[in-house]
Structure 1
Amino acid sequence: MTCAELLIRLLRDRYGVDTLFGIPGVHTVELYRGLQESGVRHVTPRHEQGAGFMADGYARATGRPGVCLIITGPGMTNIATAMGQALADSVPMLVISSVNRRDTLGRGQGRLHELESQQRLVAGVARFSHTLLDPAGLPETLARAFAVFQGQRPGPVHIEIPIDLFDAHVTPPGEWSAPMIHPASPDPTGIAQAAQWLHHAERPLVLLGGGCVNAPDTARELVTRLDAPTATTINAKGLLGEAHPLDLGANTGLAAVRRLASEADVILAIGTELGETDYDVVFDDGFELTGRLIRIDLDAQQLVRNQALSLGLISDAAQALTRLLEHFPVPLDKQGAARTSMTRDALNLAHDPALSPFVPLCDTLRHALPNAIWVGDSTAPVYAANHLLSLPAPRHFFNASTGYGTLGYGLPAALGAQLGQPALPVIALVGDGGVMFTLSELATAVEAQLPVVILLWHNKGYEEIRRYMDEHGVEPLGVDIRAPDFITVAKGFGCLATRVDSPPELAEALASRPGDGPFLIEVDAGAWMAWCQGNASTIEEPA
């Protein structure tokens, strides 16, 4: 078979890839020979950045790598932003691209889509970037990529194939099964030391990050036995289930949780960067840990970033959670539930003026779409949901307000999540500013008949940046942008759309959502805020 045919066969038969995201181009035509008969689904976004965000959403919702087929040159510059977001959040993504013929590489001859070095361009947003120069090396190169996804801190991997290799003949492997790779286990001595410190702690605290999402049951049981207040990052939301008595939520940037953290004498942090966009969303470097810090991470360098370390273990989070649990056969008594409850009362989230208008929005969506996957852009409802939502399971909430923080993520990532989890409802939370980056992906949603609910928060521009300018004495400029008539635009794509001003109207709209395509619901932010202000007494504490 040809190198191109072998690539698709390896992805499908060795690694179980069932969906590819890509826009065909003259340099990738050979990759499409026979693809339709392969049984692998091909999804055509309207922009390569959309392809990357779809692959990202697919990966986060399923736990399996999202795979893209990308054209030489502009295709790679377009997808680089999506790769940056996936790298920041450790999302497994495989980007396979074409590149010019081997005999022309680096020669600057003005060839179609030519870059001096694609590999150098994307190296900063990939775990590694590799140029395939011998078609016989394709199985090994793919094995390296999936080894990253399975055995170390995941992220995007880029493999580029010169166009003169696509139709090169190769001998298929005799065995199609994938190599078995087990992630690292923690050092027993280190686990014993960590357990000893936690046993003797008076005020323990647990911090769980996105690295733990594959082991929710074990994480929940360990937290229960430690009887320790537990904060999760945004990417770990849902780890402890719904309304767990020890769950502080993703609120480590708020004053009450910061006080609890600074008073903790032993802190256990697993699978978390302890990074700014989770722990310091007010950007004042005010999240301080003064107790003994135990960190567990697959990335050795991450162990010593952001906070002073007392004990570090290099390990897969699930393995570490299991080994630690063995040291706590019976639950401890650390007054964890009482400390958590006091902190929650101090937070008083439902009555925070910045959050309270979004309580009925979250409640209405949850009632209409139970067990939904929530995917967000950088927009006011997402910032509020980061604090307010308590969810039954992980992989049900992710957005671009953390890490790289790119705009335009929410809509295409929600489409990827829906493709990966077709049996679950999916909500895209987007703003009128951010959605304009990838609004064309409405066409993809309609074409693929994806029943995503797109809640578009329309506050007439870049509200957060406008407020930031005001707070810093900068005359607002470039933030009061003109928006299209979103209802008309959506209907032009063939997408059902409506406009609502209040929670009752939102509930009514959701009750009539279609099951065979996307539904855009535009929320007039000003009218919504006015309704909430007039009905403040009816807003209750979120579940």
Structure 2
Amino acid sequence: MTCAELLIRLLRDTYGVDTVFGIPGVHTVELYRGLEGGEAAGIRHVTPRHEQGAGFMADGYARATGHPGVCFIITGPGMTNIATAMGQALADSIPMLVISSVNRRDTLGLGQGRLHELPSQQQLIAGVSCFSHTLLDPCQLPEVLARAFTVFRSERPGPVHIEIPIDLFDAPVAIPSQWQPPMLYRPAPDPRGLAQAVDWLTAAERPLVLLGGGCVDAPGAARQLVERLDAPTVTTINAKGLLGRRHPLDLGANAALPAVRELAANADVILAVGTELGETDYDVVFDDGFALTGRLIRIDLDAQQLVRNQPPALGLVGDAGRSLELLVERLPHPMHKGGRGRTALALATLDLVNDPAFMPFVPLYAVLEAVLPEAILVGDSTAPVYAGNHLVSQPAPRRYFNASTGYGTLGYGLPAALGAQLGQPALPVVALVGDGGVMFTLSELATAVEERLPVVILLWHNAGYEEIRRFMDAHGVERLGVDLKAPDFLTLARGFGCLATCVDSPASLSDALASRPLDGPMLIEINAAAWQKNLIQTGKQ
């Protein structure tokens, strides 16, 4: 068979890939020969309208399913286009496999002005990937793919890039004798370190637990551990739903707010598992005010991460899920540390539903929970998402994620929601976007219509970049470039063949959601000014 055909067979039969995102190009036509038969061949190909959209779709698919998102991308501009999506995935440890073409082997690095030529495509992408590899011998393809999936399954995941010269796609290659991937296990912490952690946690009077996105595959162990420790627990944005909806020990992703900061500063032992302790989770007010004075125990799959941001008293290298399970085994009996009371007091002090910054969005999320309680909420960087990071509580992990953390790109919400819907077709999916950010990837409405994906797009229309307006005002900078002329979103959506409507109150939003189609997308535009005016008139704000 050819190298391209072998690639498809390995992805499908060895690694269980069922969906690929890509835009065919003249450099990748031979790669698509291996995809003949479409879904009947076992792999669904989805064509976005921009390579950045392909990357965001793969990201959303991976976050919703836990399986790597896979992209087929053309040489040169295709790779520069997808680099932003790879940067977002790298920042949030999202498994993504990007297979690209590159110019013929005999022309690499010569600068001859070939179609799509870059001086070094591999060097360009190395900075937004766990590794980038140029395949020079088709017989090495099984080994390189095995390396990629080892990253996804056995260490801190992220994007991996494999580029294949166009003269290798149709090169003949022998069928490998071994088709099955190796059985892989992620590492567990040293037993002596676990014993030390248990001793400290048992003796603690005011323990605190910090759980990050690395824990999302172990919700049962996470709940058992925090309940046995009776410890207030911060679940970061990417860990929402880990303890279930409104668990009595869950402080949510509110580490940057004063009541939780005070609780953290007073904790005598802190256990942080699978979290970077980065500013977009713990310091969204950007004043470096999240201080830990007690003994800090950190557990992470990435050894270097153990000493970033907050220095630990005890650092353990290991998989978050396995570590949680081992700690539960060593802590068989529930303790009584007053954790539920401390959690309740902190949440009551925060009083999030009456915080003026969040109040416009309290009824929005109340409607979503009432009408679509099982929905996956996928967000861009936009006002409802900033509030939702604090307000939202989900019934399970992998049901809430957005681009407001880490890399913080715009344009993520819509395509990532499409990827999530493709990965979890049985669950409702809602994209939370703003009128500014959605313009980056609005063309992906065409993909949603073509694939008949029943995604709800909630578009918060506040006529520009509201977050940047506030920052300019706060710093005494005259507003420039932030008050945007918006298009007629309803007309645009309908032009794509997407059902569209506008709402200005919680009641009208509820009605619109209840009538959403199940065989295609629906765009619901929320007029921010009218929404807030109605809330004031009805006494809800």
Q: Scaled by the length of structure 1, what TM-score is found?
A: 0.98
Deviation beyond 4 Å, 4+ runs, structure 1: none
1:102 counterpart letter in structure 2: R
The one-character-per-residue Cα deviations of 1:318-350 (angstroms, maximum 9, x if unpaired) are: 110011111111101100000000000000000
Equivalent-residue separation in structure 1 for 2:351 and 2:331 (angstroms): 33
1:385-534, aligned counterparts within 5 Å?
385-534=388-537
Instruction: Specify which of 327, 330, 333 is matched with residue 330 of structure 2.
Output: 327
For the residue of structure 1 that corresponds to 2:381, the secondary structure is coil
Equivalent-residue separation in structure 1 for 2:34 and 2:236 (angstroms): 43
Instruction: Specify which of 31, 46, 49 is matched with residue 49 of structure 2.
Output: 46
For the residue of structure 1 that corresponds to 2:500, the secondary structure is strand
Equivalent-residue separation in structure 2 for 1:501 and 1:242 (angstroms): 28
Equivalent-residue separation in structure 2 for 1:18 and 1:5 (angstroms): 15
1:63-212, aligned counterparts within 5 Å?
63-212=66-215
Aligned to 2:31: 31
1:290 counterpart letter in structure 2: T
Aligned to 1:243: 246
Q: Scaled by the length of structure 2, what TM-score is found?
A: 0.99
Aligned length: 538
Moved more, 505-514 or 108-117: 505-514
1:275 aligns with 2:261: no
For the residue of structure 2 that corresponds to 1:186, the secondary structure is coil
1:210-289, aligned counterparts within 5 Å?
210-289=213-292
| Deviation, structure 1 residue 173 | 1.6
Instruction: Specify which of 305, 310, 316 is matched with residue 307 of structure 1.
Output: 310
| Deviation, structure 1 residue 535 | 2.5
1:11 aligns with 2:49: no
| Deviation, structure 1 residue 151 | 0.5
| Deviation, structure 1 residue 395 | 0.2
Equivalent-residue separation in structure 2 for 1:324 and 1:229 (angstroms): 17
1:56 aligns with 2:62: no
Equivalent-residue separation in structure 2 for 1:305 and 1:175 (angstroms): 40
Equivalent-residue separation in structure 1 for 2:44 and 2:170 (angstroms): 22
Equivalent-residue separation in structure 2 for 1:83 and 1:12 (angstroms): 22
Q: Structure 2: where are the runs of 5+ without partners?
A: none
Q: Structure 1: where are the runs of 5+ without partners?
A: none
Equivalent-residue separation in structure 2 for 1:181 and 1:369 (angstroms): 37
For the residue of structure 1 that corresponds to 2:167, the secondary structure is helix
Equivalent-residue separation in structure 2 for 1:403 and 1:452 (angstroms): 25
Aligned to 2:341: 338
| Deviation, structure 1 residue 536 | 3.1
Equivalent-residue separation in structure 2 for 1:536 and 1:272 (angstroms): 40
The one-character-per-residue Cα deviations of 1:74-119 (angstroms, maximum 9, x if unpaired) are: 0000000000000000000000000000010000000000000011
For the residue of structure 2 that corresponds to 1:35, the secondary structure is coil
The one-character-per-residue Cα deviations of 1:112-136 (angstroms, maximum 9, x if unpaired) are: 0000001100111000000000100
1:318 aligns with 2:321: yes
| Deviation, structure 1 residue 309 | 1.1
The one-character-per-residue Cα deviations of 1:208-247 (angstroms, maximum 9, x if unpaired) are: 0000000000000000000000001100000000111100
Equivalent-residue separation in structure 2 for 1:444 and 1:488 (angstroms): 17
| Deviation, structure 1 residue 255 | 0.7
The one-character-per-residue Cα deviations of 1:171-193 (angstroms, maximum 9, x if unpaired) are: 11223222111000110000000
The one-character-per-residue Cα deviations of 1:241-263 (angstroms, maximum 9, x if unpaired) are: 01111000010011110000011
1:216 counterpart letter in structure 2: P
CA-atom RMSD in angstroms: 0.7
For the residue of structure 2 that corresponds to 1:125, the secondary structure is coil
Equivalent-residue separation in structure 2 for 1:193 and 1:441 (angstroms): 51
